[in-house]
C-alpha cells in the first residue's frame, strides 16, 4: 500500500511541476543556444543581421509542425495553458511508457 502512495505522490509532484512551474522557466537562450549565437548580431525580432555563428546553419526540425512542438499544444491560444497542458501530457506519456516497460519486465520469468 505504501508503494502505491509513493507512486501517486511522485506522479502528482511531476504533474504540478510540469503543469504549473514550467510556465516560470526562463525564456532566455540556454547554454547551447547562447554558444551557437556567439559571433552574430541580432535585431529586435531576433533575426541574424550580421556576423558569423553556428546559428546561421540552423534548420527547422522535422517535427516542428507537430501538435506538441515548441513546448505547447497547437491550437490553444493561451500560452500558459498550452505550456502547462503540454507538460502534463509529456509527464503522463512518460509515466505510461515507463510504467508499461517496468510491468512487462517484472512479468518475465527468469531464464
Single pTM value for the model: 0.71
> Residue 16: what pLDDT?
94
> Residue 29: what pLDDT?
66
Domain ranges of the chain: 7-107
| Partners of 50 in beta bridges | 41
Name the pairing type of β-strands 40-42 and 48-51. Answer: antiparallel
For residue range 8-65, what is the model confidence (pLDDT) as tens digits? 999 999 999 999 998 888 777 678 888 999 999 999 998 899 999 998 988 888 888 8
CA distances to 19, 20, 75 from 79, rounded to whole Å, are 12, 12, 10
In the chain, count H helices and then E strands: 3, 2
For residue range 63-97, what is the model confidence (pLDDT) as tens digits? 888 888 888 899 999 989 999 999 999 999 999 99
Amino acid at each position: 500500500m505504501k508503494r502505491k502512495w509513493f507512486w501517486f505522490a511522485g506522479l502528482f509532484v511531476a504533474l504540478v511541476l510540469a503543469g504549473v512551474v514550467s510556465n516560470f522557466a526562463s525564456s532566455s537562450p540556454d547554454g547551447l543556444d547562447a554558444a551557437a549565437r556567439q559571433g552574430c548580431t541580432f535585431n529586435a525580432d531576433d533575426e541574424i543581421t550580421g556576423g558569423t555563428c553556428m546559428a546561421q546553419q540552423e534548420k527547422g526540425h522535422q517535427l516542428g509542425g507537430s501538435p506538441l512542438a515548441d513546448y505547447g499544444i497547437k491550437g490553444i491560444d493561451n500560452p500558459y495553458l498550452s505550456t502547462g497542458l503540454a507538460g502534463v501530457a509529456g509527464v503522463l506519456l512518460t509515466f505510461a511508457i515507463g510504467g508499461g516497460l517496468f510491468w512487462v519486465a517484472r512479468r518475465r520469468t527468469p531464464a
